Copies of this chain bind each other. A is one copy, B any other.
Amino acid sequence: MKKYLLLALFGAFLLPSISFQQTLRTIKSPGNISTITVGLNKSGEIFYKISYRGKTAVNWSRLGLTTKGLDLSKGFRLRDATASKHDSSWKPVWGEVDNIRDNYTELEYGLENEAGHRMTLRFKAYDEGVGFRYELPEQPGLQTIQVTDELSEFQMTGDHTAWWIPGDFDSNEHVYSTSAISAIDCTPYNKEHAIFTQHIVKMKNVQTPIAMRAASGLHIALAEAGLADFGALHLETDTENLKFKAFLIPSPDSTIKSTNTLPFHSPWRAVLLSKDAAGILESKLILNLNEPSKIEDPSWIKPQKYVGIWWEMHVGKASWEYLDAEGKPNGRHGATTENTKRYIDFAAKYGFDGVLVEGWNVGWEGWFGQWKDEVFDFAKPYPDYDIDALSRYAREKGVRLIMHHETSSAVTSYERQMDEAYAFMKKHNMNTVKTGYVGKIIPRGEWHDGQWMNNHYLRVAERTAQNKIMVNMHEAVRPSGLHRTWPNWLACEAARGQEFNAWSAGNPPEHECILPFTRILGGPMDYTPGIFEVRMNSYNPEKTEVVHTTVAKQLALYVTLYSPLQMAADLPENYEKRLDVFQFIRDVPVDWSDTRVLNAEIGDYITLARREKGSEDWFLGSITDENPRSFSIKLDFLPAGKTYEATIYSDGKGAHWKDNPYPVDIVKRQVKRGDQFTINLAAGGGCAIAIKQQ
């Protein structure tokens, strides 16, 4: 009978045997909520299983690595297994909360094969999910491995609803799909230049993090943490057996995914588990799996709000490049001395920290899509951009210019210039850089998500940190919590951002209701919210693009899309037309001591309340997809006995993302702990509330 049960559990691939039962080890999370069981079958292959609140969340799934000349997926015996308990807490330099508890049970599952090669599986069981990774300790006769495959599987227990984007080697800038696991199919995404630089090879491969909801209500997100010296983790979907298998972005020699030196450990594979969507948003699992900060004195790292010369290029009012096709000034250049002064004045007047200026340096003429090397010079401004005068002017005004380094993905060229480029920044009093990786990578054959590039991003994080520079990477790999280790790495784009609304079919209203459950699980996104002029025909009557939002929702995004770096992305003139609405953007902070999820469903709606760091003020953001919604909000997060003034920015009467995006009602009311009221969100709308202590 026992035999029969085991067979049922393991299917055909695993023969039950004494040896299997002898190798089984189980750990439970501190609150007995998550359980991990690991074992070896008769062939010495490794399997694991995860239960959550007594039910299987990930059924028996295989583990292992294959490397060139050395198979680390079978023939193992259990050498030793050690379980231990850990409980500590740490304070992030910035974040959604000011204190994070790291409470887990660990299992070190040490293996050895017949040739004496050793590998350890390290598991961490948290109440909120599970992490595991592969470790190869130093050992005689094995110095380097060339990883050809990772066998890690995630056997789902049903045909869950999944929110996913394709396993693209080069981009994360896709619209999310919502489908059953069995229906995952990237074919519709695989059109040339749907995203300019995309590379989708396998039609059932998805990017991590992927979010899922089981019929039981169990919510699961599969992700990775601490991506370093390895290809990014994508997942191959077995749509028949409802199973995911690790797929590592390869090197140009596609048979090799990664080359690693011992001692080696893989990034963490993370399984976030929750009984509801809110729990996924609240999870600190990915951060906890990352290494502590390597920056000893982080006092120079400052969360920031910024404006910049950027959206005017996207809407077609200005250009990045200075010259026209005949080599003459085109008269449309955005990054001029005069225009930059205008932004500096605006930033100073309304209390922004920084002014991003794109298109300031030579090289923008005709580079796009050409896969050229040596495109940009990162210390050579265009002749109409007086950087000396501007950096002085910004300093006088108490504002910092934010540097822009579009690498054009000529990354080796950028690496050769990094030292000079950062010295040039420091000389001009800049301490934040936005990097860009538009186009196909040089080294040619490398991918945005491959090992070489992942090492590059970390080199940039480290090199900027050495120079006390904060960094915001666009078109880089999606984050995996490394901002814990390098808190100067403020944000990434690594998803479909606001800009798509200016010149493409754009982002559907549900988009920002999916991002926090997927892409943003790994780290902050520089989404660039705050567009007030949402219709592109206001710039050009021939344009039909719109931002799929109401203006009130744009405000709410500053709360719901967490980032320590937030842009007020619209043009100064658009803000100055609606200073009453703009006031919320001026008020909302970018660093928090506490965060509460008031309600959330993936792809439908999110309502968060957050407390400003070093303050008693709270800010609430609520957003919805294409459906209008009403929520009853109870202010039980406020401390008792204090009075607040709430400024409520709601969708105005008749507001609708498509037909009537502009109306915003602004109401002030006195509130206190326990107060309850209803907020109404228009279709594609939102609500933002500033709750300030009086």
Contact = CB atoms under 8 A, between A and B. Distances in A.
11 contacts: A140-B326, A143-B370, A144-B370, A146-B370, A251-B444, A256-B371, A373-B455, A412-B443, A412-B452, A416-B416, A443-B445
A141 B443 CA distance: 26
B444 A371 contact: no
A22 to B, nearest CB: 33
Interface SS of A by simple majority: loop
B370 A141 contact: no
Nearest to A415: B416
Given A141-B325, A412-B412, A146 B443 contact: no
Contacts of A412: 412, 415, 443, 452
A212 to B, nearest CB: 34
Q: What number of copies of this chain does the assembly contain?
A: 2
Contacts of A415: 412, 415-416
Contacts of A455: 373
A263 to B, nearest CB: 13
A71 interface: no
Interface residues of A, number: 31
Nearest to A251: B444
A26 interface: no
Nearest to A443: B443
A31 interface: no
Interface in A445-471: 445-446, 452, 455, 459
Interface string A574-605: 00000000000000000000000000000000
A329 interface: no
A442 interface: yes
Contacts of A140: 325-326
Contacts of A259: 370-373
Contact of A446 (B256, B371, B443, B459): B443
Nearest to A142: B366
Q: 3 closest Cβ contacts across the A-B interface? A: A252-B445, A443-B443, A445-B445
Contact of A445 (B141, B373, B446): B446
A602 B415 CA distance: 46
Interface in A349-407: 365-366, 370-373
Nearest to A145: B370
A146 B371 contact: yes
Contacts of A325: 140-141
Interface string A251-272: 1110010010100000000000
Contacts of A675: none
Interface in A291-338: 325-326
A419 interface: yes
A139 B455 CA distance: 39
A445 B253 contact: yes
Contacts of A144: 366, 370-372
Contacts of A443: 252, 412, 442-446, 452
A373 B451 CA distance: 11
Contacts of A251: 444-445
Given A146-B370, A261-B370, A412-B415, 14 more contacts: A144-B366, A252-B252, A252-B444, A252-B446, A253-B445, A259-B371, A259-B372, A259-B373, A373-B452, A412-B412, A415-B415, A416-B459, A443-B445, A445-B445
Nearest to A446: B443
Residue of A140, A256, A373 contacting most chain B CB atoms (<10 Å) = A373
A445 B412 CA distance: 14
Interface string A232-261: 000000000000000000011100100101
A446 B452 CA distance: 13
Contact of A253 (B141, B372, B444): B444
Contacts of A261: 370, 372
